[in-house]
Amino acid sequence: MPPVLPEDPVAFVAQAEAATNAADVEWAMSIYAPSIKLETFGDGVRQVHEGAEAVRSAVTTLYDWLSASDGHIHKTLVAASGDALVNEWQGNLFNGRYKTYGAEFWYFDDTGHVVRNVLYQSLDPKPLLHPITGVRGIVGHPRVTLAYLAAWSRGRRRNRGRGRASYFDLKKSPRT
């Protein structure tokens, strides 16, 4: 039998948002199949939880963390097709001092239960040239960060004079 998506994907995402903000572990567990696989990716960390017991523990931890950080998120449906539903989300932590962004992929079985939930998140992302971005990259992934910055710098040099300004293309006025 083919997978069964929720009749109203917008309402499903709204329920997921409400459950997350209310730390409603029971609602989350009610939509998951017993064989649920939850994967979370965030700021260099990947976690995989398989089976209802492991997922319940992971969801409880996520909800406890969001509550402890005075977090609130808003989810928006992006797409629903075949066996999957996708939403993006953004939110505030610690009374708005930090931002968080992400996307979730929900995969359904033929009974309408979620068999796989994949969550991507970024905590308090900064622009490429922000000092914190550099520290995060150099400390966490020095080789990858340096390779990316070298490629970015080459691209910046290639684009000079082509009408594409970059952060470092600021021209100093000549001294008189």
Burial of 24 (0-12, 13-18, 19+ CB in 10 A): middle
The DSSP secondary-structure symbol of 145 reads: H
- Domain contains 25: yes
Tell me how far apart the alpha carbons of residues 71 and 94 are, in angstroms, rounded to a whole number.
6
Q: Considering its fold, how many domains does the chain have in total?
A: 2
Predicted pLDDT of residue 164 = 52
Residue 121 β-bridge partners: 42, 102
Task: Please indicate, yes or no, whether residues 25 and 81 belong to a single structural domain of this protein.
Answer: yes
Task: Please indicate, yes or no, whether residues 100 and 156 belong to a single structural domain of this protein.
Answer: no
Encoded tokens for 5: 């998506």
- Domain contains 27: yes
Please report, as a single letter, which amino acid is at residue 53. Answer: E
Is 71:58 a contact under the CB 8 Å cutoff? no
Predicted pLDDT of residue 1 = 87
- Domain contains 108: yes
End-to-end CA distance of the chain: 79
Encoded tokens for 90: 């953004």
Q: Tokens 């928006």 identify what position?
A: 76
Task: Please indicate, yes or no, whether residues 62 and 113 belong to a single structural domain of this protein.
Answer: yes
Tell me how far apart the alpha carbons of residues 40 and 83 are, in angstroms, rounded to a whole number.
19
- Domain contains 139: yes
Element (H, E) at 61: helix 52-68
- Domain contains 2: no
Is 52:25 a contact under the CB 8 Å cutoff? no
Predicted pLDDT of residue 168 = 46
Predicted pLDDT of residue 162 = 60
Give the residue numbers spanning the domain of 113: 9-123
Q: What is the pLDDT along the chain (176 residues), one digit of tens a residue?
A: 889 999 999 999 999 999 999 999 999 999 999 999 999 999 888 999 999 999 999 999 999 999 999 999 999 999 999 999 999 999 999 999 999 999 999 999 999 999 999 999 998 887 777 777 778 777 887 888 788 888 888 887 877 756 554 444 444 444 44
